[in-house]
Amino acid sequence: MASQFSKRTSWDISEGPLAQAIGARRAAGLKVLDLTISNPTVCGFVYESAAILETLQNPESLIYDPNPKGIPAARQAVSKYYKGHRAEVEPDDILLTTSTSEAYSFLFRLLCDAGDEVLVAQPSYPLFDFLADLDDVRLRAYPLFEDFGWWIDFAELERRITPSTRAIILVHPNNPTGHATSRAEREQLESLCVRHKLALIVDEVFLDYGIGISRPMESFAVGPHHCLTFVVSGLSKITALPQMKVGWLACFGPAGERAEALARLEVIADTFLSMNAPAQNALPVWLAGRESIQRQILDRVSVNLATLRDLGVNFLEVEAGWSAILRISQRKSRVDLAETIVRETGVIVHPGSFYGLPEQHQVVVSLIGSQDTFVEGIKTLKKWCESNEST
Ligand X SMILES: Cc1ncc(COP(=O)(O)O)c(C=O)c1O
* Contact call for residue 239 and ligand X (CB under 6 A): no
d(CA 154, CA 157): 5
d(CA 169, CA 127): 13
* Contact call for residue 177 and ligand X (CB under 6 A): no
By beta-carbon proximity to ligand X, the closer residue of 120 and 157 is 120
d(CA 188, CA 186): 5
* Contact call for residue 356 and ligand X (CB under 6 A): no
By beta-carbon proximity to ligand X, the closer residue of 55 and 175 is 175
Can you tell me which of 79, 101, 177, 366 binds ligand X, judged by CB under 6 A?
101
Kindly state the smallest distance separating residue 237's Cβ from ligand X, in Å.
7
By beta-carbon proximity to ligand X, the closer residue of 36 and 380 is 36
d(CA 295, CA 313): 25
- Nearest CA to 222 out of 244, 268, 198, 190 is that of 190
d(CA 375, CA 49): 28
* Contact call for residue 175 and ligand X (CB under 6 A): yes
User: Reduced to 3 states, what is the DSSP secondary structure of residue 199?
Assistant: strand
By beta-carbon proximity to ligand X, the closer residue of 123 and 346 is 123
d(CA 293, CA 299): 10
Q: Are 341 and 334 in contact (CB under 8 A)?
A: no
* Contact call for residue 207 and ligand X (CB under 6 A): no
By beta-carbon proximity to ligand X, the closer residue of 346 and 355 is 355
Which of these ranges, 26-34, 97-105, 207-215, 308-316, lies near ligand X under the rule CB under 6 A?
97-105
* Contact call for residue 105 and ligand X (CB under 6 A): no
Q: What angle do CA 163, 167, 171 make, to 5 degrees?
A: 145
Q: Is 66 exposed, middle or buried (0-12, 13-18, 19+ CB in 10 A)?
A: exposed
Can you tell me which of 79, 100, 229, 366 binds ligand X, judged by CB under 6 A?
100
By beta-carbon proximity to ligand X, the closer residue of 132 and 205 is 205
By beta-carbon proximity to ligand X, the closer residue of 234 and 352 is 234
User: Reduced to 3 states, what is the DSSP secondary structure of residue 48?
Assistant: coil
Amino acid at 160: R
Can you tell me which of 44, 68, 242, 289 binds ligand X, judged by CB under 6 A?
242
d(CA 102, CA 230): 13
Can you tell me which of 247, 284, 351, 352 binds ligand X, judged by CB under 6 A?
247
Which of these ranges, 43-51, 95-103, 290-298, 325-333, lies near ligand X under the rule CB under 6 A?
95-103
Can you tell me which of 82, 106, 108, 125 binds ligand X, judged by CB under 6 A?
125
Find residue 138's DSSP bridge partners. Answer: 117
Which of these ranges, 96-104, 250-258, 324-332, 370-378, lies near ligand X under the rule CB under 6 A?
96-104
Can you tell me which of 178, 234, 351, 377 binds ligand X, judged by CB under 6 A?
234
Can you tell me which of 36, 99, 165, 280 binds ligand X, judged by CB under 6 A?
99
By beta-carbon proximity to ligand X, the closer residue of 45 and 384 is 45
Q: Are 364 and 326 in contact (CB under 8 A)?
A: yes
Provide, for the chain, the percentages of residues in helix, strand and coil under a 3-state DSSP scheme, each rounded to the nearest 5: 45, 15, 40
How many residues touch ligand X (CB under 6 A)?
A: 12
Amino acid at 322: W
d(CA 82, CA 85): 5
Which residues of the shown chain bind ligand X in the complex (CB under 6 A)? Answer: 99-101, 125, 171, 175, 203, 205, 234, 236, 242, 247
